[in-house]
Chain A
């Protein structure tokens, strides 16, 4: 995917650029709002990362200008402010996601990929999901692996469904909390890990090939490869 990163901090910008390139994406960068807005309006991108506080034209104004011009490219806002209302304000003014600095790069990547993927393939009505020998029937809510029925409770079912829908992508803990529990908060302990480990016991324990992978410091990924 092709991304635009508008961030005034040179080191952070280089870091994001390097990380995205390593993940196989094409990246353009801008160090201030004016250049960023110019690039954003003249080129086509799959996703953008915009810092809230930028020199010359601030990130919020860049976002407003884009949305006013009917440009619906997914935008992930970055902010160093953790003001309680900022997240709501950011999302309300047209950003698709919001991350508070400092963040783990994996979190940024995971969110950006999900934003871009959602745009590329708008949620189609599917009735079944699959990965390797794992099958999920969304209508009968039946999950089988290698022909064997897995007994999942509703929470485990929706967790697995989310992982299947985003298979081969990194899914972070906060993403899971936001998507499955619909709250945005900072869990004190790794509650999500326990949910995943219980799910893993049912999905992976009796099989040779593990499907749910933990990526240290990042999150989880469901895929047939290691």
Chain B
């Protein structure tokens, strides 16, 4: 499985993604907050207050003219209402106000709204609600031209609000940075965990594929549950290895301690006077020994630790050799045996030529044996992706789907085949050989609706075909 695939299918990665989505959602809200803060929504309230104050001055102007305005101005300044005022004549001369002077450097906040700085020390009657500490503070103001052309400036201290806005903005960004960090960390953790899982899975898969129980998982430290899992798996492997070794040594002893007396028995029979009875006995004991050696071979292949004696084998040439070998027998049985190679010439698989030949021979042998006269057996080689395939198709009786599993087991002879010679170890031996080579053996119907069996051997190409 590729890393990308294993990432997609890992629970930690999925949790990481979920976390990331939640965090992104959080970020969305924070950004919304930032947008509001940036939108000067906080400044709308003082602006409104200024507007109300100006309306009051407009009313005074309308009712009592300049005196009304000045009265209101005086009472406003005396009342310590938190407003800043500036009042100048149409010609620009300063009339009244609690500002030191008409502001010179102003910036326009929005249509009709100004913002300027005021020196802290200068206005002695600075509104009480202002905070002290900095040398300047910001004032937001609107200028209104009265009916006689004089100009009135009404402003409010917005320093606090600006600070609040600044704090909100900074915190918002900080929040986004933290959330992004959480995102990155959660993906990082997911990646780390997944890659460790992938490594454990890959090692386990390799152990299963090669049957090399001597291999161990890498234990990196012992601080977390994954290293604990690795350690436990290693202990399990150790246990397994011990048992398999036990079985192996028992098998070896059986091989040696039973074969030698059997050989002696065969010798004794062979030295008897010749005759029909002797030949029959020899045939019997040879059959017995063949079953015995097939069984031992299957276990030895299955329990194999060392890699196969390996070379590059051309599957096509192998198929041709086996077809060549079986062609006369098939002809004698009235069966058409043909070879069809659709793989690119030179497609190789890695493995032991003798064993692979044995596997193919067993399949072809079965096909020729079970296909009635007039039938047809086809051996085909082809390439499917990274796998080289060898397919043996016959139009014999086939194997019912529910019996296929059984047919691959040792002594799994089907009732229908009891009348045929054989010991029921051909298919299991072939399957064991293919397993040992990292391939697979599949039994299928020859084609939909038609009778017959299709056996597909699938082996990894060597080297993998170039894309």
Q: How far is the CB of B427 from chain A (nearest CB, A)?
A: 11
Q: Which of B334-377 contact A (CB under 8 A)?
A: 352-355, 357-358, 361-362, 365-366, 368-369
Q: Give the 6 A-B residue pairs with the shortest CB-CB distance, closest first.
A: A102-B263, A185-B358, A183-B357, A188-B365, A15-B267, A194-B328
B267–A11 contact, CB under 8 A?
yes
Total inter-chain residue pairs, C-beta < 8 Å: 108
A54 to B23, CA, bound (A): 74
With an 8 Å Cβ cutoff, the count of chain B residues facing the other chain is: 50
Q: How far is the CB of A183 from chain B (nearest CB, A)?
A: 4
- The segment out of A37-45, A83-91, A126-134, A139-147 that lies at the interface is A83-91
Q: How far is the CB of A45 from chain B (nearest CB, A)?
A: 23
Nearest to B362 among chain A residues (CB) is: A188
B243 at the interface (CB under 8 A from A): no
B260–A84 contact, CB under 8 A?
no
Residues of B within 8 A of A104 (CB): 266, 270, 286
A198 at the interface (CB under 8 A from B): yes
A19 to B203, CA, bound (A): 53
Q: Which B positions have Cβ atoms within 8 angstroms of A? A: 252, 255-256, 259-260, 262-264, 266-268, 270-271, 279, 282, 286, 289-290, 293-294, 296-297, 300-301, 304, 306, 308-309, 321, 324-326, 328-329, 332, 352-355, 357-358, 361-362, 365-366, 368-369, 421-422, 426
A189–B421 contact, CB under 8 A?
yes
Q: Which of A164-188 contact B (CB under 8 A)?
A: 177, 181-188
Q: How far is the CB of A77 from chain B (nearest CB, A)?
A: 15
Given contacts A15-B271, A102-B263, A105-B270, 6 further A-B contacts (CB under 8 A): A80-B255, A80-B263, A88-B309, A102-B289, A183-B354, A189-B369
A194 to B259, CA, bound (A): 30
A82–B264 contact, CB under 8 A?
no
Cβ-defined partner of B361 (8 Å) among A87, A100, A185, A216: A185
B353–A194 contact, CB under 8 A?
no
Q: Which of A210-226 contact B (CB under 8 A)?
A: 216-217
A217–B263 contact, CB under 8 A?
no
A83–B264 contact, CB under 8 A?
no
A85–B256 contact, CB under 8 A?
no
Chain A contact patch, size range: 35 or more
Residues of A within 8 A of B362 (CB): 188
Majority DSSP secondary structure for residues of A touching B: loop
Q: Can you list 15 A-B pairs with a CB-CB distance of less than 8 A?
A: A84-B301, A102-B259, A102-B266, A105-B270, A155-B324, A185-B355, A185-B358, A186-B294, A188-B361, A188-B366, A189-B329, A189-B368, A191-B329, A195-B328, A217-B282
Q: How far is the CB of A154 from chain B (nearest CB, A)?
A: 9
Q: A12-B263, A82-B297, A101-B260 are in contact. Are A183 and B353 (CB under 8 A)?
A: yes
B256–A183 contact, CB under 8 A?
no
A50 at the interface (CB under 8 A from B): no
Nearest to A199 among chain B residues (CB) is: B328
Q: How far is the CB of B446 from chain A (nearest CB, A)?
A: 21
A12 to B259, CA, bound (A): 12
A80 to B309, CA, bound (A): 20
A181–B264 contact, CB under 8 A?
no
Cβ-defined partner of A82 (8 Å) among B255, B267, B365: B255
B252–A183 contact, CB under 8 A?
no
Residues of B within 8 A of A186 (CB): 290, 293-294, 358
